[in-house]
Amino acid sequence: MTESPTPRFRISQHKRLAWWGSGLACLLSVVGLLVSWLSPGIGAPLKPGLDFTGGTQIQLERQCVLSACGSITVDQIQAGLVTLPLPAKAKEQAPSLTSAKVQLLDGGQTLLLRLPVLEADQSQAVIAGIDRLAGPLKTTGTSVNTIGPTLGSQLLQGSLVSLLVSFAAIALYITFRYDRVFAFLAIVALAHDVIITCGLFAWLGIFFGIEVDSLFAVSLITVAGYSVTDTVVVFDRIREQKKALAQLSLIEQVDVAVDATLTRSLYTSLTTLLPLLGLIFFGGASLFWFAVALAVGIGVGSWSSIGVAPTLLPVLSRR
């Protein structure tokens, strides 16, 4: 292995494209987060879901097949909810249901209601009310989630803390295993992947009302771990061949390393994406956006480990 290998693919020739692409994606993401923050309907960088805001979510399945029980519209149900009397404790007032959001799934077979925080008997009253409007309902197909506002803020706090702690721990481990420039770049790549994943969900929140929950925070942490793994494979190779390729410039060394690890970078991402595709297509609604966030993060992570972190290495090492 003494002759210097000639890489088929030179990443250094494409670095401008890589930097522009990544820079643009990061910019769009930050803009998305800001737009989401400034928009009156959301008021946060990402649209917080039930987990963080607190509230009650009720999912109901209708017993009859669609043709038999007739169609029902979102407006009908919303109107029914507003006039629905709710039981309340003597000293408290029942929450108003005017802010309720109704969604029809499976072509109207399944109803999804998003309501303010309800007491257990109040949600029972809502279910009974819907039963009269759109019933009969399948009792075994009902799901009720109530997250109190205190728990919501606890969950949000817990998610943020675990995000920060895991990022810091990963950064620490990488600094310990590699020299400082490598560690810094691995963390830049990590930030790049996390920002773009968040940015995408900010835009999804703005245009399609997609919300983030505690599973989204989990996906970010997993993406962070994965992104570093991916970047490390390339850096490991640069470190390993440093002696053998000492006569080459750092830019050329990076080109050789990226070329040699290109297939495995793509394949490792692909083998992780394949099971996630299984989750996205067959895993059902509750894990759909979780799997999407993971898939996006892993895709972007693969990109940053090939196009961003290695091409920045010569730039930083020169100084």
Which residues ranging from 11 to 50 are in contact with other proteins (CB under 8 A)? none
Tell me how far, at minimum, the Cβ of 305 lies from other proteins, in Å.
11
45 or 129, CB closer to other proteins?
Answer: 129
Question: Of 25-33, 118-126, 194-202, 203-211, which part binds other proteins (CB under 8 A)?
Answer: 118-126
CB 297 to other proteins: min, Å? 11
In order of 14, 40, 250, the CA distances from 28 in angstroms are: 21, 20, 31
Q: From CA 98, how far away is CA 84, in angstroms rounded?
A: 10
Helix (H, G, I), strand (E, B) or coil at 85: coil
Nearest C-alpha neighbor of 313 from the set 244, 256, 243, 229: 256
Q: Candidates 80-88, 97-105, 245-253, 299-307 — which segment interacts with other proteins by CB under 8 A?
A: 80-88
| Residue 40 CB, nearest approach to other proteins (Å) | 26
The set of residues, in sequence order, having a beta carbon less than 8 Å from that of 110 and lying 6+ positions away, is 59, 60, 61, 62, 104, 141
From 247, 271, 318, 319, residue interacting with other proteins (rule: CB under 8 A): 271
In angstroms, the Cα distances linking 15 to 4, 19, 283 are 22, 6, 38
Instruction: Report the residue from 17, 27, 74, 120 that binds other proteins according to the rule CB under 8 A.
Output: 120
Q: Which is nearer to other proteins, 129 or 199 (CB)?
A: 129
**Which residues, 247 to 266, sit near other proteins by CB under 8 A?**
260-261, 263-264
Question: How buried is residue 304: exposed, middle or buried, by Cβ count under 10 Å (0-12/13-18/19+)?
Answer: buried
Where is 105: in which H helix or E strand? strand 101-105
Among 17, 27, 165, 315, binds other proteins (CB under 8 A): 165
Per CB under 8 A, the list member of 98, 150, 207, 246 interacting with other proteins is 150
Q: Which stretch binds other proteins (CB under 8 A): 35-43, 247-255, 289-297, 310-318?
A: 289-297
Write down the least CB distance from residue 262 to other proteins, Å. Answer: 10
**Which CB, 25 or 234, lies closer to other proteins?**
234
Instruction: From 140, 87, 147, select the one nearest 114 (Cα to Cα).
Output: 147
Cα dist. 234→190, 241, 259, 310, 317 in Å? 14, 11, 9, 7, 16
Please report, as residue ranges, which positions from 196 to 255 form the binding site for other proteins (by CB under 8 A): 214-215, 217-218, 221-222, 224-226, 228-229, 232-233, 236, 240
What length does the chain have? Answer: 319
Q: Are strands 101-105 and 110-115 parallel, antiparallel or unpaired?
A: antiparallel
Site stretch for other proteins (CB under 8 A), options 123-131, 204-212, 246-254, 308-316 = 123-131
Check residue 175 for interaction with other proteins (CB under 8 A). no
